[in-house]
Amino acid sequence: MISLIETNNYRSLKFIHRQLENFQILVGPNASGKTTFLDVVQFISDIISEGIDKAITKRSSNFNELTFSGLGGSIELAIEAILPDHIVEKIGTNQYNTIRYEVRIGLNNETAEHEINEENVLLLNRKRITAMVNQKTSSFPLEHLKEQSTIIDNRSKERILKSASGGRKINKLFTNDLFPYIIKRDSESLRIFEETVNNTDTSLNQKAKCKSGIKKSALGNFPFDDNFFPASTWFKEYIVEGIQMIILDSINIRKSSPPGQPKKFKTDGSNLPWVINDLVKHPRQFESWIKHLRTALPDIETIETVEREDDRHRYLRIKYNNGISVPSWLVSDGTLRLLALTLPAYLPDFSGVYLIEEPENGIHPKAIETVYQSLSSVYNAQILLATHSTVILSLVKPEQILCFAK
């Protein structure tokens, strides 16, 4: 899961350093920065997967419009993610349980082109960092961060270590707090350092230098080998493929879904009939979902999916206790959204990071609690949710709330 988001000089967010939980609610007035905060994750994903030009033009034709108050300058973005246990084992040491990605982007001084000024990937131990911060300050937690003008610390020192087996010499670059860099990139060079500590394959060049260009992400374009870079390989896939914005399309949910659709939940809901059809193969989860739906729609007997014989398209059909069955094209938008938003908690393969804005739209206030209970119970995925619903706010724990203000 993503454990921390940082940004400097991005849109309405002058400086943000915020740790995250597995389920997080964003609240605040309009234009207070909730959408921008969520977009930090998506922006980084776009930079890594598509390059700097596409990532920027998706958001604005004028780079300076993306800076705080439109004043220009560079933009800094950073996220940290907790590494799965099997990745920590591959690294060969339990000292590091977190990976950090940080990037600084701006305009070239000579050509005014978009460029990546700096890009770093590091391995961290967040608990150790928290302990060091607590030792350095006795003020309100992290209050000293307000004085920072950058989130990228360039202080580093190089060391030559010996591998745990074979005595092979390994070049490593560390921060002043002794956390190792995996990627260290500036406008002139790119340096890449092996993550693992137990490999004895001397054919690997421990310190690679190359130029990936000012437009492309080093993490996104360097051909990492999972044997030597397990954390970077995992993080790249996680941030590029695992970040999803749920934007439900009631029109497509109403329609019959063509064959060949993936069984994994699509964030517009267009393949819902196929996802539900697959869930039926797991009777316990399916029945639990139906039972949960009845807390908002007590007259529902079950949800069926029907495959048309002529073209093999599949559509939803709601069966009620009075014997009436209603096809999806006659069902209200609110009911369709309710089905889609409650389903993820019961899917066996639902994982990744999901960004959701105002899930209450189109749903009756009495049914909002049903939606909240499902979304807050998704244990294999991370949910970041922006809302104006007072019903949701009355249900959440204080530590799950991030309050935004102008």
Of the CA atoms within 13 Å of residue 281, those in its CB half-sphere come to: 7
Dump the DSSP string for 132-180.
HHHHH--SSTTGGGGG-S-S----EEEEEEE-TTTT-EEEEEEETTS-B
Whether the predicted pLDDT of 206 surpasses 60: no
Give the burial string for 319-356 (b: 16+ CB within 10 Å, else e). eeeeeeeeebeebeeebbbbbbbbbbbbbeebbbbbbb
pLDDT digits (tens, 9 = 90+) for 80-121: 999 999 999 888 777 889 999 999 999 988 899 999 999 999
Mean pLDDT of the chain: 86
Per-residue pLDDT tens over the stretch 44-68? 999 999 999 999 999 999 999 999 9
* DSSP-based three-state secondary structure for 189: coil
Q: What is the pLDDT of residues 225-279, one digit of tens each?
A: 788 899 999 999 999 999 999 999 989 999 999 998 888 899 999 999 999 999 9
pLDDT of residue 143: 45
The per-residue b/e assignment along 82-119, b for 16 or more CB within 10 angstroms, e otherwise, is bbeeebbebbbeeebbbbbbbbbbbbeeeeeebbbbbb
pLDDT of residue 208: 45
Q: Is the confidence at residue 172, as pLDDT, over 50?
A: yes
Give the phi and the psi of residue 328 in degrees, each rounded to 5: -60, -35
What pLDDT, on a 0 to 100 scale, did the predictor assign at position 82? Answer: 95
pLDDT (0 to 100) of residue 194: 82
Does pLDDT of 173 surpass 90? Answer: no
Cβ atoms < 10 Å from Cβ of 263: 14
Question: Could you tell me the sign of the dihedral formed by the alpha carbons of 27, 32, 35, 39, in that order?
Answer: negative
Amino acid at 356: I
DSSP classification of residue 67: B
pLDDT band at residue 177, thresholds of 50, 70 and 90?
low
pLDDT digits (tens, 9 = 90+) for 335-389: 999 999 999 999 998 999 999 999 999 999 989 999 999 999 998 899 999 999 9
Which long-range contacts does 346-349 make (Cβ < 8 Å, 24+ apart)?
A: 346/279, 346/285, 346/286, 346/288, 346/289, 346/292, 346/374, 347/265, 347/275, 347/279, 347/285, 348/282, 348/285, 349/263, 349/264
Residue 142 has pLDDT above 80, yes or no: no
User: Residue 208 has which token pair?
Assistant: 């690679």
Out of 186-195, 306-315, 353-362, 370-379, least confident range: 186-195
For the entire predicted model, the pTM comes to 0.85
Identify the CA nearest to 383 among candidates 22, 81, 39, 4: 22
